[in-house]
Amino acid sequence: MQEFVSFGLHIALIRQLAWLPKGYDLVPEGTVINSSRLRSTMLALEETNGSSVLVRLGRHLALKEQQPVLTMLRQGATPELIADRWRRLEGYSHARGRTDYQVTGKSLTLHRGTVRGQPPARVENLLLHGFMVGLLEAVGVENVSSVILPSHGPAIPVIRNGKLVKKLEFAGRALRFRISWQSYAAISSGYPFMANMPGTAPAMGATRPVVQKLCAILEHDVGRSWTIDDVANALETSGRTLQRRLQQANSRFSDLLRLVRVREACRLLNGTSLSVGEIGFWCGFTDNAHFSRDFRRLVGMPPSVYREATLGHAGLTRA
């Protein structure tokens, strides 16, 4: 549940309880919601309303809410990018659960595991099941069906052609599930979080055409888990050729990727109200420590201090 709490999704999740019978009774006013409390609330919700309500809740959260992190997950995404971004978010928030995935044709199979402790709880997996369905529908997937894949026995239908099965009866944690669809038409959208690039952002420096083209590709989806082969494919060349051309321009792929990400972070810190954690995730950093280290290396101060400085506050002494 840490991945929901770290990025404020738990607030939207609790808000969704208002649509359920006696939903607000599960969270008395003034309750402090952490991952453990959120998990116990979802357990009480399942006991009161059945397992399918968790899938419905997660699906509605991903489709209807407008938290910044949801925009980040949905923006210009394909089914594979949705799964990749969610896995990155799990790592960024240091969640104990990790989701492996495989995209095959018109289906996405997800398998929930853990990096420490017990495997994710059943309620977490059902909530994520619906959440992933909602994210996929938000980016243009249509006529969705989904099933739980138990370790033994037949698949358990959860959604049939877009309609949620009202009563789910099964044993186990629902760690593995498959989402399939009949069609996918990408939904185009403008770049979110518009703001000007501040003059204090580190300069691009090199003007070689290969560097400019590479950076333009990276800037289009700065948070993606880029490899040099990914960019080479976009430039219709090989990874080895691109690496050689970068060496001729006295540049390295890893340095340019870091520079593009830090420049985008400067833009967002200066011109938006996104949190430092949200900006670090959007810009593709592994976690806050990685974000702060790379940002300080190029800008000379941590992200939070940079934000204070650009706003004219006397925060530089807190570096």
Question: Does one domain contain both 156 and 58?
Answer: yes
Decide if 21 is inside a domain. yes
Whole-angstrom distance, CA of residue 55 vs CA of residue 251: 47
- Judged by DSSP in three states, 186 sits in coil
pLDDT of residue 66: 82
Of 295, 217, 290, nearest to 262 by C-alpha is 295
The answer for residues whose C-beta is within 8 angstroms of residue 186's C-beta and 6 or more apart is 76, 78, 139, 140
> 312: pLDDT confidence band, cut at 50, 70 and 90?
low
Of 233, 122, 141, 242, nearest to 183 by C-alpha is 141
Of the three residues 123, 150, 184, the one that is the final residue of a domain is 184
Distance spanning both ends of the chain, measured CA to CA? 32
CB 264 within 8 A of CB 224: no
What is the tens place of the pLDDT at every residue in 72-85? 888 878 899 999 99
pLDDT of residue 21: 67
Question: Does one domain contain both 178 and 237?
Answer: no
Question: Does one domain contain both 16 and 134?
Answer: yes
Question: Does one domain contain both 171 and 308?
Answer: no
What is the tens place of the pLDDT at every residue in 123-165? 999 999 999 999 999 999 999 999 999 988 899 999 999 999 9
Whole-angstrom distance, CA of residue 25 vs CA of residue 32: 14
Question: Does one domain contain both 134 and 229?
Answer: no
Decide if 195 is inside a domain. no
- Counting the structural domains of the chain, the total is 2
Decide if 190 is inside a domain. no
What is the tens place of the pLDDT at every residue in 194-252? 788 888 888 877 678 889 899 999 998 898 889 999 999 999 999 899 999 999 888 89
Tokens 């934000």 found at: 307
Of the three residues 168, 184, 200, the one that is the final residue of a domain is 184
- Which amino acid is it at 298? L
Question: Does one domain contain both 92 and 221?
Answer: no
Question: Does one domain contain both 113 and 261?
Answer: no
**Enclosing domain of residue 82:** 2-184
What is the tens place of the pLDDT at every residue in 9-37? 887 777 777 777 666 677 666 666 777 87
Decide if 193 is inside a domain. no
Decide if 203 is inside a domain. no
Rg over alpha carbons for the chain, rounded to the nearest Å, is 21
Mean pLDDT of the chain: 87
pLDDT of residue 318: 37
pTM of the entire structure?
A: 0.85
Decide if 240 is inside a domain. yes
pLDDT of residue 314: 42
Of 151, 155, 175, 150, nearest to 165 by C-alpha is 155
Of 42, 48, 46, 43, nearest to 9 by C-alpha is 42
Question: Does one domain contain both 251 and 148?
Answer: no
- Which amino acid is it at 220? H
Whole-angstrom distance, CA of residue 200 vs CA of residue 263: 9
The CATH number that applies at residue 251 is 1.10.10.60
Question: Does one domain contain both 140 and 232?
Answer: no
Question: Does one domain contain both 213 and 178?
Answer: no
Sheet of 156-160, strand order: 97-104, 107-114, 176-180, 145-148, 156-160, 163-164
